[in-house]
Amino acid sequence: MKVLVVGANGQIGKHLVSFIQESDSLEAKAMIRKEEQASYFENLGAETAVVDLEDDIGTMAKAAEGVDAVVFTAGSGPHTGKDKTIMIDLDGAVKTIEAANAAGVKRYIMISSFDTTRAAIQEANSSFAPYVAAKHYADEWLKDTDLDYTIIHPGLLTNDEGTGQVEAASKVDRNEVPREDVARVIVASLENDETIGKEFQVVTGTAPVKGAVDSL
């Protein structure tokens, strides 16, 4: 299975491309924003596509040609304004969903926020609410398509070394999770068709990643 990793140069994305390239059944195509980022992924043996999430759907659809799955791991980051939150976390995500459709790619995995319910938007503080709202509507857009989607809601992301052990369910207590382990969960989801049509929260835990994903 060839996987287009959107946001490959991000912290989850880099772990994900590395894990995919180590897999016997998966291969990565890294979607990056700048040409100078390509060498890192080429050294891993991964194909690259230079595309900005503010580009048009056609450009993204071309990057998605020939792949079997799209994984959206991109984000505008905590230091950008509301405008970038809308353009990247909402519109960028929606455009990649539409690009997958246009390219005939059925499998799509979305890395969302821990809680994107309407209540979570209302409860978030003024700086975080736009991000939660953006992720909420991107998730809803994806669920309204015919794509074979999985939506992953990670807890508070850390750069700690992954443990390979998580807790995953439709609802879990709020907790931290290493980005490295989120990448492992994505790989396990790609390898398990039973995750199609599901969305779940994931935090650090005591179950091996594969077992936690298989039990969903």
Condensed to tens digits (0 to 9), the pLDDT of residues 46-57 reads 999 999 999 999
What kind of fold does domain 2-154 have according to CATH?
Answer: Rossmann fold (3.40.50)
For Cα atoms 15, 65, 17, give the angle at the middle one, nearest 5 degrees.
Answer: 5
Four-point Cα dihedral 60, 108, 7, 73, nearest 10: 150
Residue 108 annotated in active site = no
Catalytic residue among 108, 131, 137, 149: 131
- DSSP H or E run through 208: strand 207-208
Sorting pLDDT into bands at 50, 70 and 90, what band is 147?
very high
Condensed to tens digits (0 to 9), the pLDDT of residues 156-214 reads 999 999 999 999 999 999 999 999 999 999 999 999 999 999 999 999 999 999 999 99
- DSSP H or E run through 201: strand 198-204
**Cα 56 to Cα 61, 63, 69, distances in angstroms:** 9, 11, 19
Q: What is the pLDDT of residue 84?
A: 84
pTM: 0.96
Q: Tell me the domain boundaries of the chain.
A: 2-154
Q: Within a 13 Å sphere around the CA of 125, how many CA atoms are in the beta-carbon half?
A: 1
